[in-house]
Structure 1
Amino acid sequence: MGAYLFGVALFALGIAVTIALHEAGHMFTARAFGMRVRRYFIGFGPTVWSTRRGHTTYGVAALPFGGFCDIAGMTAQDPVTEEEAPHAMVNKPWWQRVIVLSGGVVTNVLVGIIILYGIAVTSGLPNPDVDTTPTVGEVTCVSDQVDAQTLSECTGTGPAGAAGVRVGDRILAIDGEEMADFRQVRETVISRPGEDVVLTIERDGRTLDITVPVEPVTRLSAEGASFEAGAVGLSSAPITNAVKSYGPVEAVPATFAFTGLLLEGTVQGLMSFPAKLPGVVASIFGAERDMEGPMSVVGASRVGGELVERSLWDVFWMMLASLNFFLALFNLVPLPPLDGGHIAVVLWEKVRDFFRRLRGLAPAGPANYEKLLPLTYAMAAVLLTIGMLVIVADVVNPVRLFG
């Protein structure tokens, strides 16, 4: 329990540092261009602690759901004093404003890359060239599930063994559908109780088709409810070379390559995010929680605790790197109040003024953010609602990696 609580606290601290660095990215780039930073806060709501240094108030607020960097004159509607006017963000060139607005995103990407590099030179990164073709490690009998960790006793070779499947066979396809890994084999078999399936296997350089009857068995869901599933009596052989270690130099290209894979996966996750929300709501009322669904600060910290409890430090740090990439790409969504929304406004001003020049007109000046307030408030309400729903789900029905 001590290791678990330590892991929870450590991952929560990692999230806080991630948020702090994101806002620091805005703050340091703003100062580099002579902009005035009024406040730098971690959290929202009532102030828990604060101190003032120069022109900036640093602080921690009560609600740990993010942070903010208050730069003078971020919009034309933001009042500035006569002394602040030369340092107001809205009076700076458009490209400087875009760099400052992107500062948090860039910082999170860099943090994620640094974490991955550390993993690469210590425990190693997942090998992109590993062969995940499902390979039979054991042929056994099949039986019903008694509880979460126990199957009832059985004898015999099982359906697959009786049909002629052997240890070492590589399962290439089931009923003509290519199998990428053993998990796909398992999911396919579970869904076919009482049917016959044709396994296309590779053995000693030859390809064989073996028809295997899928035996109906009883399995238990995460909530303990029994259901009928299919089983053939096969287990996976260990995957070799799944992780590859690197030296300090060769780790650099490997880190960037793996970063690309994680960023691609993060984009796909963001695109599927809306479709997963109904499942989060359903899980609050007892439905099974999607292992790949969204998690809040609470849920991610609990998973971090599970990983530390089992000394899976490489996965722990990988998860923190993924969090940085998620925060970076999520903030690029071109909707206020996210960074991407502010960047979109600045770019729109630039495009608008380009066409005005073609018509012989002077630049129109900064955009009127008051017209965006309804959208900003609506998006803030949506994000707050989603955040609260995910937190509730993480409390009443959390994601558990290890049951």
Structure 2
Amino acid sequence: MSITTVLLTILGIVVFAIGLLFSIAWHELGHLSTAKLFGIRVPQYMVGFGPTVWSRKKGDTEYGIKAIPAGGYIRMIGMFPPGEDGRLEARSTSPWRGMIEDARSAAFEELEPGDEKRLFYTRKPWKRVIVMFAGPFMNLVLAVAIFLGVAMTFGFQTQTTEVAGVQKCVIEQSENRDTCKKSDPVSPAKEAGLKKGDRIVAFDGQKVDDWATLSDKIRDTIGPATITVRRDGQEKTLHAVLQKNLVAKKDSKGEVVPGDFVKAGYLGFAAQTEIVPLSFGDSVVRMGDMIENGVDSIIALPSKIPGLWDAAFGDGERAADSPVGVVGAARIGGEVMTLDVPATNQIAMMLFLLAGFNLSLFLFNMLPLLPLDGGHIAGALWEALRRNLARVFRRPDPGPFDVAKLMPVAYVVAGVFICFTLLVLVADIVNPVKIS
């Protein structure tokens, strides 16, 4: 590996680390700003974990950066309500009860005179929902802004109606071969005289501007068809007889389904790809697909564990859609900077990587599990439901929902997350995901 490649890799990692720190700070800013808006005292706003590298106190909040850029937090006074007896100190030797009381005590460690009216748990449930949702929401806003901005200015690599190459013969796509046999019929595109560089502008007299429309028309046609192409600045009409062939199946979104095939019309040419900016509407649709894929990926995480384990500790290959952690994403960022592509492509890829990271932060934090933000949101919503039901049935107000009672579950969830993170870390080091 040359010195230039090493330096570019380091640059990519540093750029990603800066983007990571900004994303974390942006997330915590959402919590901080809404907490202060609702009068909750926030003693600390920290980006990172571990030893404090730099800090400064402004008002009643200490702002700082810590040594390990793998997260961040704000500390709010009174995250959990007092126990039923009104006391805050630990009082039990039971390990599960101890977890609850330790968490409750920590929520009041920095209680000062006058803070009785600035406690998190004393705020109405809807205000607590806003405070906890604001952090992930900031990541979603950042992801959408980056994605739409890059999609509309730079664009995506997209198949067009220009011919990149013409197949010589008809081969079923399931055979996965490129060479023709004597028994293979000549492809309709070759017989019709289609050439590399032709841009198809109409099919059977109907104008076509995009590959998706042209592809559907070809698949729906078996038999004679006219193909209008623009060649050397002039339009030319070709006559082809499309054949039935076994081709890759498409899903409802027009995406190819790997390993699945259907019988359809076949012309026999490869479409050229270009980087094409998207309209606002198309960018929003693509962003929706990205969010849907993100949700599917979160749901599929448990099923990825065997493959991760095999990639980390066995001889299994690392799947392209395998989960990656901060280290893996940083390595991808470093690899992006070494690609032999224009600088604009590298910038766009880094921005898309950052957008994906922020979308993952949003989706992951919205899981209704403590200690994630979604767990606190679920607790506040449950409290609102209990109080409203009590009001409807004219029962006594049940009071704040004691989220601290769920701390044993939170520790189990945190333990599972830590184990999963360590597994991903090992896989990212010994068998990383690579881009082509």
TM-score bracket for this pair, using the shorter chain length:
0.7 to 0.9
Q: Offset of 1:33 from its aligned partner? A: 1.4
Which of 349, 366, 382 in structure 1 is aligned with 2:383? 349
Change (3 A) 1:338 1:159: farther
Structure 1 match to 2:22: 17
Counterpart residue type for residue 24 of structure 2: I
Larger radius of gyration between Structure 1 and Structure 2: 2
Question: Are 2:48 and 1:54 aligned?
Answer: no
Distance 1:262 1:86 in 2: 42
Counterpart residue type for residue 89 of structure 1: F
| Identity across the alignment (%) | 33
Q: Offset of 1:245 from its aligned partner? A: 4.5
Change (3 A) 1:265 1:42: same
Question: Are 2:356 and 1:334 aligned?
Answer: no
Change (3 A) 1:353 1:131: farther
TM-score, normalised by the number of residues in structure 1:
0.75
Which of 248, 255, 266 in structure 2 is aligned with 1:202? 266
Counterpart residue type for residue 143 of structure 2: G
Distance 1:69 1:161 in 2: 71
Q: SS at 2:324's partner residue?
A: coil
Structure 1 segments unaligned to the other structure (5+ residues): 142-155, 190-196, 204-233
Question: Are 2:316 and 1:287 aligned?
Answer: yes
Structure 2 match to 1:391: 425
Change (3 A) 1:296 1:235: farther
Change (3 A) 1:344 1:183: closer
Q: Is the 8 A contact 2:79 2:119 kept in 1?
A: yes
Q: SS at 1:347's partner residue?
A: helix
Q: Is the 8 A contact 1:139 1:161 kept in 2?
A: no
Q: Offset of 1:368 from its aligned partner? A: 2.0
Question: Are 2:292 and 1:264 aligned?
Answer: yes
Distance 2:264 2:183 in 1: 15
Counterpart residue type for residue 281 of structure 1: W
Q: Is the 8 A contact 2:368 2:374 kept in 1?
A: yes
Distance 1:275 1:198 in 2: 28
Superposed CA deviations along residues 99-143 of structure 1, whole A, max 9, x for unmatched, are: 11111111111111221232134213567xx679x98825479xx
Counterpart residue type for residue 71 of structure 1: M
Structure 1 match to 2:133: 102
Q: Is the 8 A contact 2:376 2:403 kept in 1?
A: no
Structure 1 match to 2:276: 243
Q: Offset of 1:256 from its aligned partner? A: 3.4
Distance 2:33 2:323 in 1: 31
Distance 1:260 1:289 in 2: 27
Question: Are 2:45 and 1:6 aligned?
Answer: no
Q: Is the 8 A contact 1:139 1:160 kept in 2?
A: no
Q: Is the 8 A contact 1:26 1:104 kept in 2?
A: yes
Distance 1:160 1:384 in 2: 59
Q: SS at 2:285's partner residue?
A: helix
Distance 2:31 2:46 in 1: 12
Change (3 A) 1:85 1:174: farther
Change (3 A) 1:13 1:160: farther
Distance 2:262 2:303 in 1: 34
TM-score, normalised by the number of residues in structure 2:
0.70
Q: Is the 8 A contact 2:146 2:352 kept in 1?
A: yes
Q: SS at 1:163's partner residue?
A: coil
Q: SS at 1:239's partner residue?
A: strand
Q: Offset of 1:323 from its aligned partner? A: 1.3
Question: Are 2:150 and 1:116 aligned?
Answer: no
Q: Offset of 1:314 from its aligned partner? A: 1.7
Counterpart residue type for residue 43 of structure 1: G
Change (3 A) 1:135 1:75: farther
Distance 2:147 2:154 in 1: 10
Q: How does 1:1-400 map to 2 (within 5 A)?
A: 1=5, 2-76=7-81, 77=104, 78-79=107-108, 80-125=111-156, 137-139=165-167, 158-159=180-181, 162-165=184-187, 166=189, 172=219, 175=246, 178-179=249-250, 188=259, 200-203=264-267, 236-239=270-273, 243-246=276-279, 251=280, 253-284=281-312, 285-310=314-339, 311=343, 312=345, 313-400=347-434
Change (3 A) 1:183 1:86: closer
Distance 2:396 2:247 in 1: 65
Superposed CA deviations along residues 227-246 of structure 1, whole A, max 9, x for unmatched, are: xxxxxxx9843235x62345
Superposed CA deviations along residues 282-307 of structure 1, whole A, max 9, x for unmatched, are: 10123100111100011111112222
Q: Is the 8 A contact 2:164 2:272 kept in 1?
A: no
Q: Offset of 1:160 from its aligned partner? A: 9.0
Counterpart residue type for residue 107 of structure 1: M
Change (3 A) 1:42 1:358: same
Q: Is the 8 A contact 1:332 1:340 kept in 2?
A: yes
Distance 2:418 2:271 in 1: 45
Counterpart residue type for residue 306 of structure 2: P
